[in-house]
């Protein structure tokens, strides 16, 4: 076995290295090197900021030039006092106050029409040109609305406020589960020119979705299905309260495909109408609510609800049983819970490929586990029918049908990236993953669903909320 001698540094090398590190000239060189690196970083940051500012100026000037005929019309209207230029105080970058410009339109037919096409926001291009605002950034707020004394809030004032922001997009897509401050902080920490371009592109479909209204009705009906119109936080609070009750409760999630199934499956429709709570899942329900004049507050889907529910369950002593999906998948979800929500007790797992003969033994296992919460991933409508038949036999306080949730959290199927969910395109991502299985559901099923909703809108054939609410076991 051959050995290689370890090379030792020569005395000349050691002397040179000590001189480089500790001599006056060497120390000066080190300080100069650190100063150059720091200056380079500052210049890079300023260059990126300057690039965004230059792009804002160019786009604002281009917009003013393209819209110059409208500007001429607005000058005539201003001169005739049919409209007025309003200045609203706002807090900008570094907490500097500025006036945001907008037109005040009369409450007439033509005034409402101009407001519909956002004519009143035209002067904000002047704010962008002046540098008060940007096209993309946190929402401009009034002085005193968000105090910079709070550390989390202070971060949003490091950049210029914008016409479009992450929070606005997420509210439009009904996935605004966090807070506006969290969304602003996320934007500031990750902002880039390409990121701003992505936000601007995501804003295009968001305009079509409208916005969930906080004062929307608590109960709506879509294709004769009762929908509990709640936010994600409210849904979690409901589940946690039900877990402290003495009886079993069924919770269902309904998307466009579920509504199509219930349209032709009387048993499934009956189960949805008798469930304790039904939550709206997906952009299809959002659009349906908008068409029917019943705004959906948030997209309360099981996949987004699951990690938040695990957080709420942690260290409460409540236990969970996982039933469904392919063999081995429920166990991987249990491992996910152990890693990301170690305070949650999983008292049993069972795959969904069981026979009718095995069913009684599985029900006994669930009952003997004394689980509080049962998550069933058998696909709609099988999972909801199974829960309806066996809820009281299992002895659980709450049972929910969660569809493909196990596949996502086991890692078997990756979930759509956040930017696609913000655009309401998670369905497209699922189609790309499994085109042979999903093409009919999304391209045929969604069209049929919207046709039925439009038909309901003009024929008023649905059972209105007041007609079924009295008979619902709440």
pLDDT band with cut points at 50, 70 and 90 for residue 416? very high
Q: Are 212 and 174 in contact (CB under 8 A)?
A: yes
pLDDT at 470: 41
CA distance 197 to 52: 10
More confident residue, 10 or 195: 195
> Which residue from 418, 426, 386, 380 is spatially nearest to 402, judged by alpha carbons?
380
| Enclosing H/E stretch for 68 | helix 68-79
For the stretch 44-101, pLDDT in tens is 555 555 788 888 999 999 999 999 998 898 999 999 889 999 999 999 999 999 999 9
| Enclosing H/E stretch for 102 | strand 97-104
DSSP 4: -
Rama region for 200: left / alpha / beta (φ>0; ψ in -120 to 50; rest) = alpha
pLDDT at 183: 95
In sequence order, the β-bridge partners of residue 98 are 90
More confident residue, 473 or 152: 152
Most confident region among 173-177, 191-195, 311-315 by mean pLDDT: 311-315
CA distance 352 to 15: 73
pLDDT band with cut points at 50, 70 and 90 for residue 215? low
Buried b (16+ CB within 10 A) or exposed e, 26-37: eeeeeeeeeeee
149, pLDDT greater than 50: yes
Reduced DSSP (H G I as helix, E B as strand, rest coil) percent helix, strand, coil of the chain, to 5 = 55, 15, 30
Of all residues in the chain, the percent with pLDDT exceeding 70 is: 88
Largest pairwise CA distance in the chain = 100
Q: Are 227 and 282 in contact (CB under 8 A)?
A: no
CA distance 282 to 291: 15
Radius of gyration of the chain measured on its C-alpha atoms: 29
- Please list, in sequence order, all residues whose beta carbon lies within 8 angstroms of the beta carbon of residue 178, skipping any fewer than 6 positions away: none
Mean pLDDT of 150-154: 88
For the stretch 12-55, pLDDT in tens is 655 566 556 667 776 677 778 777 776 666 555 555 557 888 88
Three-class SS state of 271 = helix
pTM of the model: 0.79
389, pLDDT greater than 50: yes
CA distance 337 to 342: 6
CA distance 419 to 422: 5
CA distance 135 to 159: 12
Q: Are 399 and 378 in contact (CB under 8 A)?
A: no
CA distance 327 to 338: 19
For the stretch 259-297, pLDDT in tens is 999 999 999 999 999 999 999 999 899 999 989 988 899
The sheet with strand 277-280 has its strands ordered as 277-280, 249-254, 398-401, 373-377, 319-324, 345-350
CA distance 152 to 63: 34
> Which residue from 176, 309, 304 is spatially nearest to 239, judged by alpha carbons?
309
Q: Are 308 and 231 in contact (CB under 8 A)?
A: no
- Please list, in sequence order, all residues whose beta carbon lies within 8 angstroms of the beta carbon of residue 157, skipping any fewer than 6 positions away: 91, 92, 93, 94, 95, 148
pLDDT at 213: 58
CA distance 431 to 439: 6
CA distance 158 to 135: 15
In sequence order, the β-bridge partners of residue 374 are 321, 399
Q: Are 83 and 77 in contact (CB under 8 A)?
A: yes
pLDDT mean across residues, the chain: 88
Q: Establish whether the linkage from the previous residue to 381 is cis, with ω within 30° of 0.
A: yes
CA distance 396 to 365: 12
pLDDT at 473: 45
């Amino acid at each position: 076995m051959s050995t290689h001698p370890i090379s030792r540094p020569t005395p000349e090398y050691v002397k040179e290295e000590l001189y480089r590190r500790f001599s006056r000239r060497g120390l000066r060189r080190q300080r100069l090197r650190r100063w150059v690196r720091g200056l380079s970083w500052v210049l890079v940051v300023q260059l990126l900021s300057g690039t965004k500012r230059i792009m804002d100026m160019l786009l604002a000037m281009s917009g003013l030039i393209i819209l110059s005929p409208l500007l001429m019309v607005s000058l005539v209207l201003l001169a005739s006092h049919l409209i007025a230029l309003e200045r609203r105080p706002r807090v900008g970058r570094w907490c500097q106050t500025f006036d945001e410009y907008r037109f005040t339109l009369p409450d007439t037919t033509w005034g409402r029409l101009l407001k519909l096409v956002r004519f009143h926001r035209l002067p904000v291009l002047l704010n962008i040109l002046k540098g008060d605002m940007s096209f993309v950034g946190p929402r401009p707020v009034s002085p005193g609305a968000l105090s910079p004394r709070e550390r989390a809030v202070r971060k949003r004032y490091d950049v210029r406020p914008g016409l479009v922001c992450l929070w606005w997009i997420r509210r439009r897509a009904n996935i605004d589960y966090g807070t506006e401050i969290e969304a602003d902080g996320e934007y500031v920490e990750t902002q880039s020119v390409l990121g701003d371009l992505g936000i601007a592109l995501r804003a295009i479909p968001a305009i079509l979705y409208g916005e969930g209204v906080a004062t929307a009705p608590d109960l709506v009906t879509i294709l004769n299905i009762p929908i509990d119109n709640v936010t994600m936080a409210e849904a979690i609070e409901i589940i946690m309260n039900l877990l402290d009750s003495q009886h079993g409760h069924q919770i269902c999630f309904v998307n466009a495909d579920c509504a199509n199934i219930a349209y032709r499956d009387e048993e499934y429709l009956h189960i949805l109408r008798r469930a304790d709570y039904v939550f709206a899942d997906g952009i299809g329900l959002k659009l349906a609510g908008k068409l029917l004049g019943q705004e959906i507050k948030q997209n309360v889907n099981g996949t987004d609800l699951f990690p938040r529910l695990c957080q709420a369950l942690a260290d409460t002593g409540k236990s969970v049983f996982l039933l469904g999906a392919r063999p081995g998948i429920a166990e991987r979800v249990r491992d996910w819970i152990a890693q990301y929500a170690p305070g949650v007790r999983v008292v049993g797992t069972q795959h969904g490929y069981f026979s009718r003969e095995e069913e009684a033994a599985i029900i006994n296992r669930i009952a003997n586990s004394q689980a509080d919460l049962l998550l069933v991933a058998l696909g709609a409508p099988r999972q909801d029918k199974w829960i309806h038949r066996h809820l009281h036999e299992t002895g659980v306080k709450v049972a929910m049908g969660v569809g493909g949730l196990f596949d996502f959290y086991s890692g078997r199927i990756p979930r759509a990236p956040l930017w696609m969910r913000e655009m309401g395109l998670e369905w497209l991502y699922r189609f790309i993953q499994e085109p042979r299985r999903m093409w009919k559901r999304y391209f045929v099923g969604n069209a049929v669903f919207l046709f039925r909703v439009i038909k309901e809108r003009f024929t008023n054939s649905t059972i209105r909320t007041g007609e079924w609410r009295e008979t619902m076991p709440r």
